[in-house]
Chains A and B, each alone.
Chain A
């Protein structure tokens, strides 16, 4: 910024933002390590170092192990569904047509509406007594009236419901990103492939999809973060139930740390998010670097 400005201007303009972010992101981040390595509870005074005791007790807890596996299962399943769905959707949206704007509005709704609102909406749709889905299933004679699926009350179904709501919520976001990727492919590349003799599938798998890879990466990595670190869907749909079978790391951290007032153990649980976040951040930087070279 040197030409025409004092040397301190740049840093001074930057400082407030940096201080703010460090204060409210960096400091708590470091603090969470302290909590996890100590014995802090809500209302307690002082801090004593307990080493890895919290982590050990957390790892020995079957609920935690189940929550950890749930986090992975939910994230991987929903991302697979999102990737396939969003690609298909992006392809149908790629070429302009009348009414596209309105359909886009509809498609965006799950993402732009607050996730808590969308989740409570789904809770009503999946309600044990009044579920409209069950009503339709009964009418189509696919299930018996007395044997309707308990979408949020039965462990397997509850997990499926959570996965589907996550998928529903993330789909628009991924679609927008992938749509940008699809429209960025120059028209003459698939034409060249056609002239070169490639059929539909060869062009798709050997030419277009590889070209989409950087964008798919971005959508996937963001989607993983949003899903893995989300506690809202689980909290609202099932409160982690039935009997903690749908708990995920963030929701378990919340129940333990805030509702259970055990800040130390809550912090320890939430810190298990860090390895995944670090891996994702590293992958994103690698993708960004490669994309910039192109």
Chain B
């Protein structure tokens, strides 16, 4: 069990800036599930690989458990990694895959046997030990990859988008398995994904990355309710936060906070707006309304609202209704830099 820390970690590539990491300071907490979230090319995988020792940093320090590991090989860092493709050894059985790291350590056969039983029991794959990877389903392969990772009892777990190769249907249950697994063993885990739903569901904290930098790191509710800049604000949440430009400032509010008058969920002082419906998407449990705002400085701005289906009556297309937003749900951003700024009076 260890804490992962990076100081000024940088990686530049000769072939361009895609995937580069530009000076990241990170400090994980013991036993936490930390998610590195960002679009492709944001540097999240590069960051993970540098922590693993598979990629050499251009500058900066990596510490695991307080020890500087820059010069150490992946094996010496006592980390375990689950790759996007799982990277199971195709010519070895499931058991062979699981004991491989133990063999590499020089562990005697009887101990290996015990550890393998423990790991496979933990993941419920005891009945698959004799099979080869090609005979397994996607979910089973994930469990084997996890078993192989856990069998060495590493101090840090690194996972690189393990769910992205799975069928959409499978993803939810596989996600839950990983969550439960991590809670059970309690090892510090760093998890890379581009899927914000995964990040929100699984992470104790989320580090949102873009263009090689960490824009914000915080708990799911911190990054969702209190975004540090427009990137974080629009990356999290689907549909993304509405961003409206008013007098040189940028005002943001989430679709679920734009409600018909009298029903704003957050209470407190609120702002009234008119909303003309353009078109609507019915998703079963909720409705997404696309339309235009009216009233004061918001006149003519496009916005998206999100209502539970159980709520009130439906609007007809082109109908204009009275909507409201709680003042505390309005977030202000600096127009030039995109960072959060203090509230600006709106009249």
Q: Which among A186, A193, A195 is the interface contact of B52 at CB below 8 angstroms? A: A195
Q: How many angstroms from the CA of A211 to the CA of B96 in the assembled complex?
A: 14
Please encode chain A, from 196 to 221, with 1 for each CB lying within 8 Å of some chain B CB and 0 for all others. 11110010001100110100000000
Judge whether B282 is part of the interface by a CB distance below 8 angstroms.
no
In the bound complex, do residue B85 and residue A294 qualify as a contact, i.e. CB atoms below 8 Å apart? no
Q: Whose C-beta in chain A lies nearest to the C-beta of B151? A: A196
In the bound complex, do residue B54 and residue A195 qualify as a contact, i.e. CB atoms below 8 Å apart? yes
Judge whether B346 is part of the interface by a CB distance below 8 angstroms.
no
Q: Whose C-beta in chain B lies nearest to the C-beta of A202? A: B104
With contacts A194-B74, A195-B52, A196-B148 taken as known, whether A188 is within 8 angstroms of B104 at the C-beta atoms is: no
In the bound complex, do residue A189 and residue B104 qualify as a contact, i.e. CB atoms below 8 Å apart? no
Min CB distance A289 to B, Å, is: 14
Q: How many angstroms from the CA of A189 to the CA of B89 in the assembled complex?
A: 7
Min CB distance B189 to A, Å, is: 15
In the bound complex, do residue A192 and residue B104 qualify as a contact, i.e. CB atoms below 8 Å apart? no
With contacts A198-B100, A198-B104 taken as known, whether A192 is within 8 angstroms of B91 at the C-beta atoms is: no
Size bin of chain A's contact surface: 20 to 34
In the bound complex, do residue A207 and residue B83 qualify as a contact, i.e. CB atoms below 8 Å apart? no
With contacts A197-B105, A197-B152, A202-B104 taken as known, whether A191 is within 8 angstroms of B134 at the C-beta atoms is: no
Q: How many angstroms from the CA of A195 to the CA of B152 in the assembled complex?
A: 11
Write out the residue numbers on chain B whose beta carbons fall within 8 Å of the beta carbon of A210.
91
Write out the residue numbers on chain A whose beta carbons fall within 8 Å of the beta carbon of B85.
186, 188
Please encode chain B, from 37 to 75, with 1 for each CB lying within 8 Å of some chain A CB and 0 for all others. 000000000000000111000000000000000000111
Q: Which among A196, A211, A293 is the interface contact of B104 at CB below 8 angstroms? A: A196
Min CB distance B144 to A, Å, is: 12
In the bound complex, do residue A196 and residue B75 qualify as a contact, i.e. CB atoms below 8 Å apart? yes
In the bound complex, do residue A188 and residue B90 qualify as a contact, i.e. CB atoms below 8 Å apart? no
Q: How many angstroms from the CA of A234 to the CA of B80 in the assembled complex?
A: 56
Min CB distance B104 to A, Å, is: 4
Min CB distance A95 to B, Å, is: 14
With contacts A196-B101, A196-B104 taken as known, whether A189 is within 8 angstroms of B73 at the C-beta atoms is: no
> Footprint of A on B, CB under 8 Å?
52-54, 73-75, 79-81, 83-85, 87, 89-91, 100-101, 104-105, 134, 148, 152
Pairs across A and B, CB under 8 Å, 18 listed: A186-B85, A186-B87, A188-B84, A189-B87, A191-B83, A192-B83, A192-B89, A193-B89, A193-B100, A193-B104, A195-B75, A196-B75, A196-B100, A196-B152, A197-B105, A198-B101, A207-B89, A211-B89
> Footprint of B on A, CB under 8 Å?
186, 188-189, 191-199, 202, 206-207, 210-211, 213, 293-294
* 5 smallest beta-carbon distances between A and B, as pairs: A197-B75, A196-B101, A192-B87, A197-B104, A188-B87
Q: Apart from A194-B74, A197-B101, A211-B89, what 6 extra A-B contacts exist at CB < 8 Å? A: A191-B54, A191-B74, A191-B81, A197-B74, A202-B104, A206-B100
